[in-house]
């Protein structure tokens, strides 16, 4: 994307219509994200799916997250989680046009009330009626209601990508996806029951539970992904059975991961862009130093420069994730999906970006004192996004466990080697990942030799598995950050900043596990004891270039508002 286009997008987001009203309980407050989405679509004057241009969509999502996390929430659900699977799995052209224009605003309906994030166990059903050649969508029990779906607001036409157990000829064909109109300007569509939720304080949207009572869905609104049902009622699927079809449908999560990492990294950068200048201006009264700028305090430097390091790392992770997450083959997926390795990397990118962004916003809020608590300071609203995505888009803990089990149990993962690695931090993180992997698989083999139940074998080692997956994520993030520091395109003037932030990031990753490194002889006692002073030394070196750090992270100044500006 050219600088000209970027500046045009920034100018679009300065429009006052995108600033939400102050009254949280006012219906206009809940409507503002959808009005903003349609306003942006009108300004773009383009009915083509934004997913066709990854750089363009990523920029729009990043800017929307900075201006209003709720606008980002509506944008990514519509453009990624609705249009994404619709494009990927064969939606009708007329339905795609309605979605791309913004006349319909879409949202996914995957998770069910009684089963949390276990989308493998979907109980909503879609029975094929061979005579009408339609599907009958039905919620069999209260626990099968879809939730929390942001579709409770009246007066906004909404459509959902609904996951349901497909039944053809009485047989279970796996979980399939359907494009289902949920409500129009007059209210919910026939057979669609929408129960709005009470107001919530953080990331307030029009959340609701949705049930279906024998809703008729036309054949063309089945996202069939290459499958078809003949006129005599026989079912044909290019995939190998119901389990493969279910996994393919659940693969739509990748569209969320690409968007979520971008939005989380954006609010991390914006938090630093708000907090660091504020702390530079803020006067503190020290009992020994008297009145002085708050940034002079080493404790403040540790918070804010540490936040900048995490924000940069989150950004590097996010920028690399988008391409893989949003890739759609020409003509749609037609039963294909990214490899298990690519899906695992994308899911871990979401977890990594969320952990780093949450740490960034927490540090910035702490440095800003009481001003970091109020919504008019923006930081608490940014933290609402990081908190929401600890569970939304796939629970972070479950993603870590699933990734660990997959890497311990498959042939597509090899522990990292140390050959030809010059950087000491990367060698250290590779060693930690390799040793934890060995510990995990050795422990599992011991359990198998003792004929222990499979569930108990895994469940007893959940903590070790999580530590291994976290170590893998830290190692891959460090390698990406190292490449960013040494990239040929990095201007000479920013290289010292990149080096300082890289070193600070690595120190922050080592410090919580210093006892582990000491116990295994990877660090000596004096090295462990010197870690705090090394962090302080980097902070002192970065302090004179605090303004340059803000510029390096690149959040547009015109989009920052509130008490801290």
**243-266 pLDDT, tens per residue?**
999 999 999 999 999 999 999 999
Name residues of the chain where pLDDT drops below 70.
1-4, 23-27, 115-120, 331-336, 453
Contact in structure between 563 and 371 (CB atoms under 8 Å): yes
CA distances from 454 to 268, 331, 442 (A): 40, 41, 15
CB 253 within 8 A of CB 163: no
CA–centroid distance for 474 within its chain: 17
Per-residue pLDDT at 207: 95
Q: Three-state SS string across 154-199, please?
A: CCCCEEEEEEEEEEECCEEEEEEEEEEEEEECCEECCCEEEEECCC
Opening angle at CA 328, ends 70 and 268, nearest 5: 35
Residue-level pLDDT at 111: 92
Would you state the pLDDT for residue 415?
92
Distance of alpha carbon 346 from alpha carbon 381, whole angstroms: 25
Task: Give the pLDDT confidence score for residue 527 in this predicted structure.
Answer: 97
Q: pLDDT of 289-319, one tens digit each? A: 778 888 999 999 999 999 999 999 999 999 9
pTM for the whole structure: 0.95
Q: According to the model, what pLDDT value does residue 322 have?
A: 86
Domain-by-domain residue ranges, the chain? 3-81, 105-249, 253-559
Q: Which CATH superfamily is domain 105-249 in?
A: Butyryl-CoA Dehydrogenase, subunit A, domain 2 (2.40.110.10)
Distances from the Cα of 502 to the Cα of 199, 261, 308, 508, 524, angstroms: 41, 20, 10, 10, 22
* pLDDT computed for residue 491 by the predictor: 80
Alpha carbon distances (Å) from 391 to 139, 355, 470: 24, 12, 17
Decide: residue 521, CB within 10 A, 0-12 exposed, 13-18 middle, 19+ buried: exposed
pLDDT of 116 reads 58
Q: How far is CA 398 from CA 330, 344, 390, 402, in A?
A: 32, 12, 10, 6
Q: Is 414 helix (H, G, I), strand (E, B) or coil?
A: coil
Pick the CATH number of 253-559 from 1.10.3720.10, 1.20.140.10, 1.10.287.70, 1.20.1730.10: 1.20.140.10
The pLDDT value recorded for residue 205 is 94
Asked if the domains at 105-249 and 253-559 fall in one CATH topology, the answer is no
pLDDT tens-place string over residues 395-416? 999 999 999 999 998 778 999 9
Size of the chain, expressed as the number of residues it contains: 565
pLDDT of 1 = 39
| Rounded Cα distance, 269 and 364, in Å | 10
* Distance (Å, whole) CA 210 – CA 216: 16
Per the CB < 8 A criterion, the answer to whether 335 and 275 are in contact is: no
């Amino acid at each position: 994307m050219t600088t000209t286009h970027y500046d045009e997008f920034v100018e679009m987001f300065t429009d006052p219509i995108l600033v939400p009203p102050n009254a949280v309980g006012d219906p206009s407050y809940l409507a503002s994200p959808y009005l903003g989405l349609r306003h942006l679509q009108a300004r773009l004057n383009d009915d083509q799916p934004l997913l066709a241009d990854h750089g363009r969509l990523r920029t729009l999502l990043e800017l929307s997250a900075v201006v209003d996390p709720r606008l980002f929430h509506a944008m990514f659900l519509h453009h990624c989680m609705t249009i994404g699977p619709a494009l990927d799995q064969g939606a009708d052209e007329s339905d795609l046009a309605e979605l791309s224009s913004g006349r319909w605003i879409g949202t996914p309906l995957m998770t069910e009330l009684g089963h949390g994030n276990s989308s493998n166990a979907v109980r909503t059903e879609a029975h094929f009626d061979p005579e009408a050649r339609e599907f009958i969508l039905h919620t069999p029990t209260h626990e099968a209601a879809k939730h929390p779906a942001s579709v409770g607001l009246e007066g906004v036409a909404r459509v959902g990508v609904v996951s349901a157990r497909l039944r053809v000829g009485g047989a279970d064909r796996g979980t399939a996806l359907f494009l289902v109109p949920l409500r129009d300007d007059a209210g919910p569509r026939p057979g669609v029951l929408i129960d709005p939720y009470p107001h919530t304080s953080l990331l307030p949207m029009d959340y609701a539970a949705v049930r279906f009572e024998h809703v008729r869905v036309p054949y063309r609104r089945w996202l069939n992904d290459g499958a078809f049902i003949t006129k005599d009622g026989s079912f044909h699927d290019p995939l190998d059975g119901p389990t493969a079809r279910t996994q393919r449908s659940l693969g739509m999560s990748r569209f969320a991961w690409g968007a979520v990492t971008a939005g989380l990294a954006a609010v991390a950068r914006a938090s630093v862009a708000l907090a660091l200048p504020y702390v530079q201006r803020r006067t503190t009264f020290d009992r020994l130093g008297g009145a002085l700028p708050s940034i002079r305090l080493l404790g403040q430097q540790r918070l804010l420069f540490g936040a900048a390091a995490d924000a940069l790392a989150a950004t590097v992770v996010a920028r690399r994730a988008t391409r893989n997450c949003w890739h759609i083959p020409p003509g749609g997926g037609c039963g294909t999906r990214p490899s298990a390795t690519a899906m695992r990397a994308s899911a871990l990118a979401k977890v990594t970006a969320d952990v780093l962004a949450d740490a960034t916003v927490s540090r910035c809020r702490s440095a800003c004192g009481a001003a970091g608590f109020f919504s008019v300071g923006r930081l608490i609203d940014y933290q609402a996004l990081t908190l929401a995505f600890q569970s939304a888009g796939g629970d972070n803990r479950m993603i870590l466990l699933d990734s660990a089990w997959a890497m311990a149990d498959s042939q597509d993962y090899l522990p990292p080697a140390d050959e030809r690695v010059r950087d000491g931090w990367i060698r250290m993180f590779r060693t930690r990942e390799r040793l934890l992997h060995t510990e995990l698989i050795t422990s599992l083999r011991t359990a198998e030799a003792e004929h222990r139940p499979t569930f108990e074998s895994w469940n007893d080692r959940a903590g070790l598995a999580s530590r291994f997956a976290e170590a893998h994520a830290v190692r891959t993030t460090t390698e990406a950050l190292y490449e960013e520091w040494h990239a040929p395109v990095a201007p000479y003037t920013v290289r010292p900043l990149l080096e300082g932030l890289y070193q600070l990031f690595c120190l922050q990753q080592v410090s919580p596990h210093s006892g582990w490194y000491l116990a295994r002889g990877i660090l000596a006692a004096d090295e462990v004891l010197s870690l705090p002073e090394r962090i302080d030394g980097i902070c002192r070196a970065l302090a004179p270039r605090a303004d340059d750090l803000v510029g390096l992270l690149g959040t547009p100044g015109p989009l920052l508002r509130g008490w801290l500006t």
